[in-house]
């Protein structure tokens, strides 16, 4: 199997239009599915809503680009994909279960 690599995707978010606002629920659903599948690790929007950053796992930048096309809002945004040397993050959410 191919080794998965981490990629940072930086999006330039356009001003909100009615069409974009209408697609936000579908975008959020896609984000949830990708996070559950382990393809999407992080999804972060700046306070001014102009930048969006995601860390994704894939075998290549082309593979990441293919995954980005699943997001309903990608067609409205410019983006850049950068392969990462590493990605570390503190785990959040459900604590580990103890077997004691």
Per-run averaged pLDDT (10 residues), the chain, 100 residues: 90 96 97 96 96 96 96 97 89 58
Contacts of 33 (CB under 8 A, 6+ apart): none
Q: What per-residue confidence (pLDDT) applies to 2?
A: 74
pLDDT at site 94: 58
Residue 4 and residue 57 in contact, taking contact as beta carbons nearer than 8 Å: yes
**What is the pLDDT at residue 96?**
54
Whole-angstrom distance, CA of residue 74 vs CA of residue 45? 14
DSSP strands (E only) in the chain: 5-12, 40-45, 51-58, 78-83
**Residue-level pLDDT at 87:** 85
pLDDT at 39: 95
**C-alpha distances in Å from residue 90, one per residue of 9, 82, 93, 94:** 19, 21, 10, 12
Tokens linked to 74: 């990608």
CA dihedral 21, 27, 32, 38 (to 10 degrees): -150
- Per-residue confidence (pLDDT) for residue 89, from 0 to 100: 81
Instruction: Give residue 79's pLDDT.
Output: 97
């Amino acid at each position: 199997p191919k080794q998965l690599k981490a990629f940072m995707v930086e999006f330039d978010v356009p001003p909100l239009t009615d069409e974009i606002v209408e697609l936000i629920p579908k975008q959020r659903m896609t984000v949830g599915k990708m996070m559950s599948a382990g393809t999407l690790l992080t999804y972060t929007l700046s306070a001014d809503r102009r930048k969006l950053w995601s860390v994704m796992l894939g075998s290549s930048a082309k593979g990441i680009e293919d995954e980005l096309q699943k997001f309903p809002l990608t067609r409205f945004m410019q983006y850049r994909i950068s392969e990462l040397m590493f990605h570390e993050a503190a785990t959040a959410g459900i604590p580990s279960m103890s077997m004691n």
